[in-house]
A = this chain, B = another copy of it.
Amino acid sequence: MSEKKRRRGEAGPSATGKKSRPSSRADELRKQLKSDADILESIRRMSAASKSSTFKTLTLSDLNLSSACREVSDRDSSSVLLSIERAALDAARSILSGSGFSFDIPSRSSSNQLYVPELDRIVLRDKTSARIFANLSTVRKATITARVLSLVYAVLRRNIHVTKRDLFYTDVKLFQDQSHSDAVLDDVSCMLGCTRSSLHVVASEKGVVVGRLIFYDDGDRIDCTKMGIGGKAIPPNIDRVGDLESDALFILLVEKDAAFMRLAEDRFYNRFPCIIVTAKGQPDVATRLFLKRMKTELKLPVLALVDSDPYGLKILSVYMCGSKNMSYDSSNLTTPDIKWLGIRPSDLDKYQVPEQCRLPMTDQDVKAGKDLLEEDFVKRNEGWVKELEMMVKTRQKAEIQALSSFGFQYLSEVYLPLKIQQQDWL
């Protein structure tokens, strides 16, 4: 580590605007900080627990639900290719026997969705419908399904990845509108019982990662401690990601890129071994898959740093529980057990965030907050309920960057170290 880097990584009194504002509370908190070794001890215990935990993500078959419900899983190309070949053979056999052909498509409608509390996920029930070729009302969809199957087959055979938009453009005449090919792609995914990533149809990525992680992206070894301040862009194709290695003690999930930049520039991960990841706002599929992958393979606790507002919690919920329209894929996209580190409504007073750095919540914000209080993922966590109730009651929200009022590096030098030292997460 160069001298320059070390200097920036060091804790020290902020040079910024201390005298012009009463920030005695900030100084007081700074003084509470123990040595880095002591602080690390706090997280080490949690990290060890996470690694040794025999906790296993429950599956549908653990609950004897595998025949009544349906989920998809990651499968390798050769097995997906085999399934498509089998579907084609079935169709051919059916045609030769004079019965025409049809596809048996799982229903993805909300009436066929089921929330399984034990899994804390939404899954699909087993309702399916026949998509018959020789039927005026289903012939178009059956044709599109056959076409999508053949396109996916070609993609897998070439061992490349494409986007939904690419898929649409290969036959605009048939698909007419991208929503039609997109919907059938989801059908095909359910029908074959594999994730959309297994079909090699990927979403564009916008997430970045930095810190104590080494992985392979399409055969290239990526050392995320050597990715400067910009970090490594998270790859769109998770199946080309492999061999994750890490000596980190935790994963720090950050809502916004400004906070990410602060932590990357301060090389926060050198002082507190961690992996820092952000989707720069609303989580995209690639970042969610990447987080899930890290959590599963490295068995690290995940601490989340989001704005103290309903939107910040909603972002957490997408990482944890997924979104309704991808429910059939929920087990592959969701990372349960994320700890809410901050910024929490109670932090505003604890850290004495100045009044003028807090923002008033709009009526819509308050409604969103109240709606969240009805959500299962919130209700299961008493601490979260209390925090949310406080947010709705005080009608105040705050961004992560509000901490800049105590100095630009307060986040990396005081707030986060103290949070970890006090094991202050929910």
Contact = CB atoms under 8 A, between A and B. Distances in A.
A166 B240 contact: no
Oligomer: number of copies:
2
Contacts of A357: 169, 172
Contacts of A228: 216-220, 222, 235, 240
A166 B232 contact: no
Contacts of A231: 233
B218 A17 contact: no
B16 A405 contact: no
Interface residues of A, number: 73
Interface string A64-95: 00000000000000000000000000000000
29 contacts: A8-B160, A15-B154, A15-B158, A16-B155, A16-B170, A17-B150, A17-B171, A20-B171, A158-B409, A160-B266, A160-B408, A163-B261, A166-B258, A166-B408, A169-B404, A169-B405, A170-B405, A171-B405, A172-B354, A172-B405, A206-B206, A206-B280, A216-B228, A217-B227, A217-B229, A218-B265, A220-B226, A229-B240, A232-B232
A253 to B, nearest CB: 17
Given A21-B171, A220-B228, 5 more contacts: A4-B159, A155-B408, A166-B408, A169-B403, A229-B240
Interface of A: 2, 4-5, 7-8, 15-17, 20-21, 150-151, 154-155, 157-163, 165-167, 169-173, 202, 204-206, 208, 216-222, 226-237, 240, 257-258, 261-262, 265-266, 280, 354, 356-357, 399, 401-405, 407-409
A354 B218 CA distance: 33
Given A8-B160, A166-B404, A219-B2, A232 B230 contact: yes
A61 B144 CA distance: 64
B261 A5 contact: no
A258 B15 contact: no
Contact of A235 (B159, B217, B230, B258): B230
B219 A227 contact: no
A160 B232 contact: no
B158 A17 contact: no
Contact of A217 (B20, B206, B230): B230
A270 to B, nearest CB: 12
A240 B226 CA distance: 14
B236 A233 contact: no
A285 B36 CA distance: 37
A308 to B, nearest CB: 14
Contacts of A171: 17, 20-21, 405
